[in-house]
Amino acid sequence: MAASTEPKEGPNAAFLIVKPMATAARQFVKSLVRPSTIVYPFERLEDPSFREEVKVESGHPIGVGPIWDNYRGVHALNIATCISCNLCAFSCPDLCIEMVTVPGGDPKHPKKCPQIDYGKCSYCGFCSDACPEGCLSMTTRYELSTPNRSEMIYSPQKLHEVFERKLPMNPIRLERPENEDAIRLDAPLCIGCNACSRDCPTSCITMVDTPKPTAKPGEKLPRRIWKEPVINDSDCVRCGTCISVCPKECLFWGTHP
Amino acid sequence: MTVQSLYGVAALVAGGIAYLLPFLPPWLVTIIADVVFGAILLAASMINTIVLIWYERKLLGRFMDRRGAMHVGYAGLLQNFADGLKLFRKNTYKPREADSLGFYGGPTAYMVSSLVIFGILPISTGWDNGSLPLSLLLALVIFSFAPLFIFLSAWSSNNKYSLMGGMRSAAQMIAYEVPILIAVVAVVVLSGSFDLTTIVSEQRNYWFALPLFLALIVFVAGMLAEMERIPFDLPEAEAELVEGWNTEYGGMLFAFFMLADYLRALIGSILIVLLFLGGWTLPSYVPAALTSFPLAGIFWFMVKTYLVFGVFVWVRASLPRVRTDQLLRVGWMRMVPLALVSVLIAAAVVAAHCLPVLGCVPGLGS
């Protein structure tokens, strides 16, 4: 008969109809109260009222919690603590950070702070990782659309306004340790490699010649360049780049002699 | 312009016509009355259709945990009017090899044949003057014109997807005409009439959905197939055929197809309400206050129609599309026997004459 040629049916056909319809009806009743969709420009996840109203299944309100607080959005810049060290611009893989002069520095050493082109930025967060002062950090702000491209470039002042909004931020390093006052040199370890001088963002390290000692008989002089870094303390911004690039770990944080 | 002044203008126009009527020859009066009535019916059906699309979008949104249209007008009510306006302004393109007559005539005939049915369906009390003794049969006949026009436009489009969609549409509609008509026979046996007004008035004691539940199921499933809605939307299966038989259509011609689809959905809901759910009447034991306010008939009729269409949307939100072999197997091997069984049930009810809880069937032809 025809029954033998029919393809095998799995569960009962009535079950195949009734169960999905019951599921849909349950969903319908549930979303009559409130659909999960957020009417975005009118409702925002980060609105305080919305946070109280909608809870995710873990019990945390949406918008609070570890994932949200690590969000990498628009940067916040604290101009007051920025030391113009240029490390953010160095670390940027997209070359979207340019150091521009802001008022506040003396004429000899103009204060330079990062200006970020969000048309290029990939939100990798390297700059805020590199910032030695913790003054550049990433916030939860994500609304960037503008009618023209030049408004995608955020000046330091604009980034400072973002900072003043006190949005949730990625805390990198908010305070500077007490003992980071000056760069000290452990002279016997130095090999005169010039790495610190090369990488210093403010070019305050100069390599000066040191007299090459005469070798005593039987003694082998270390193989090195007979130069030593001298740090111009008034130009140094204490960014710590020289410490991190030194291959022999002969530079360290210390206090003024 | 305030509402009062609108009423004033309407009263002025109506008064003018009423003043002129005695001076006009009777045939002209009949023509004017027909034209006015037709215009009102056309406007009402089109507005209802567009509101039906809005209703489906809102319901479907809730079924899918979203909101549907919500920005144009109150709760997005005007969104589909705006969409229609957009489609109206668009250019229509015809494929170079397409046949002009079929390409343009198909959608038009599809639309017109769907609209004509509204002239047959009674909506409320007081439509008896225009009722026909075979109005149910006439409505179903015009309703089943559709595969012809769909196939015409699909063939004329000169597109393989259109042609396949048209073929499927024809096969599906013919397969489901049979159980629908047998299910209607059950209703006719119970009510003893092909006249929709009589069928509704025969349901004063109980709705035909109660004894003829099987026929209702068959009729709803068949109507889903006739309207080509999910889960029976094989003719325009987006995953297989680009857009089915209206692949080549754009602009207002597409809007014609879309509107006609929803017109047919509206007609299907109206037919279900008329045949099985008591039309504009409520059962006689319902308090009279519910049925005595002005326009109560149309009110209850629209409420029922939209609820039935809501069930269609519910089905659409729940079920996946069936395969062609499943569709035809269900049509011929499940629906036809069920419809025949429901005819037997109807005959048994007529023979028993009185049902234990529901009450008595009026005598045949009374």
Model pLDDT, residue A146: 87
Model pLDDT, residue A11: 63
Choose among A7, A25, A39: nearest Cβ to B314: A25
Encoded tokens for B290: 């519910």
pLDDT tens across the length of chain B (366 residues) = 577 777 788 888 888 877 887 788 888 888 888 888 888 888 988 899 999 999 999 999 989 888 888 888 888 889 888 988 998 898 888 888 888 888 888 888 998 988 888 888 888 777 766 667 888 888 888 988 888 888 888 888 888 888 888 888 888 888 888 899 999 998 888 888 888 888 888 887 778 888 888 899 999 988 888 888 878 888 777 777 777 788 888 888 888 888 888 999 999 999 999 888 888 888 777 777 777 777 788 888 899 999 999 999 999 888 888 888 888 888 888 889 999 999 998 888 887 766 666 666 554 444
Whether the CB-CB separation of B163 and B248 falls below 8 Å is answered with no
Own/partner contacts of B256-259, CB < 8 Å, gap of 24 or more, are: B256/B107, B256/B108, B256/B110, B256/B111, B257/B107, B257/B110, B257/B111, B258/B53, B259/B46, B259/B49, B259/B50, B259/B84, B259/B111
A188 shares a domain with A242: yes
- d(C-alpha B247, C-alpha B211), whole Å: 43
Helix (H) or strand (E) holding B360: strand B359-360
Burial class of residue A210 (count of CB atoms within 10 Å of its CB; 0-12, 13-18, 19+): middle
Please tell me if residue B338 touches chain A, with a CB cutoff of 8 Å: no
Encoded tokens for B257: 């197809």
A63 shares a domain with A82: no
> In Å, how far is B260's CA from the nearest CA of chain A?
27
Helix (H) or strand (E) holding B165: helix B160-191
A154 shares a domain with A98: yes
Give domain status of residue A171, yes or no.
no
**CB pair distance less than 8 Å for A27 and B63:** yes
A190 shares a domain with A136: no
SS (H, E, C) B122-158: CCCCCCHHHCCCCHHHHHHHHHCCHHHHHHHHHHHCC
> In Å, how far is A5's CA from the nearest CA of chain B?
12
A137 shares a domain with A158: yes
The residue to which tokens 């008896």 are assigned = B128
What's the complex ipTM? 0.74
Q: What is the pLDDT of residues A36-65, one digit of tens each?
A: 777 777 777 666 666 555 554 445 545 454
Please tell me if residue B314 touches chain A, with a CB cutoff of 8 Å: yes
**CB pair distance less than 8 Å for A37 and B318:** no
**What percentage of chain A exceeds 70 in pLDDT?**
80
Residues 6+ apart with CB under 8 A from A84: A99, A105, A109, A111, A112, A113, A201, A202, A237
Encoded tokens for A168: 């949730």
Instruction: Indicate which CATH number applies to the domain containing A88.
Output: 3.30.70.3270
Give domain status of residue A19, yes or no.
no
**CB pair distance less than 8 Å for A24 and B70:** no
CA atoms within 13 A on the CB side of A126: 15
Locate the domains of chain B by residue range: 66-352
Q: Give the residue from chain B lying closest to A20, CA to CA.
A: B318
CA atoms within 13 A on the CB side of B256: 23
CA terminus-to-terminus distance, chain B: 51
**CB pair distance less than 8 Å for A21 and B333:** no
Using the Cα atoms of residue A155, residue A161, residue A167 and residue A169 in order, give the sign of their dihedral. Answer: positive
**CB pair distance less than 8 Å for A24 and B62:** no
Encoded tokens for A32: 């009559």
A83 shares a domain with A158: yes
Give domain status of residue A18, yes or no.
no
Give domain status of residue A90, yes or no.
yes
Residues 6+ apart with CB under 8 A from B298: B123, B124, B280
Using the Cα atoms of residue B265, residue B271, residue B272 and residue B277 in order, give the sign of their dihedral. Answer: positive
Encoded tokens for B87: 């489609």
**CB pair distance less than 8 Å for B67 and A35:** yes
**CB pair distance less than 8 Å for B70 and A36:** no
Which domain range does residue A52 map to? 38-67
Give domain status of residue A58, yes or no.
yes
B60, B71, B220, B318: best to mutate for the A interface, most A CBs within 10 A: B318
Whether the CB-CB separation of B21 and B13 falls below 8 Å is answered with no
Choose among B62, B70, B325: nearest Cβ to A28: B62
Provide the number of structural domains found in chain A: 3
A186 shares a domain with A160: no
> In Å, how far is B45's CA from the nearest CA of chain A?
28
Whether the CB-CB separation of A249 and A195 falls below 8 Å is answered with no
Chain A residues inside the 8 Å CB shell of B59: 28
Give domain status of residue A140, yes or no.
yes
A141 shares a domain with A99: yes
> In Å, how far is A144's CA from the nearest CA of chain B?
23
Q: What is the pLDDT of residues A89-118, one digit of tens each?
A: 888 999 999 989 888 777 777 888 899 999
Nearest to B181 by CA among B343, B328, B312, B327: B343
Give domain status of residue A109, yes or no.
yes
Give domain status of residue A243, yes or no.
yes
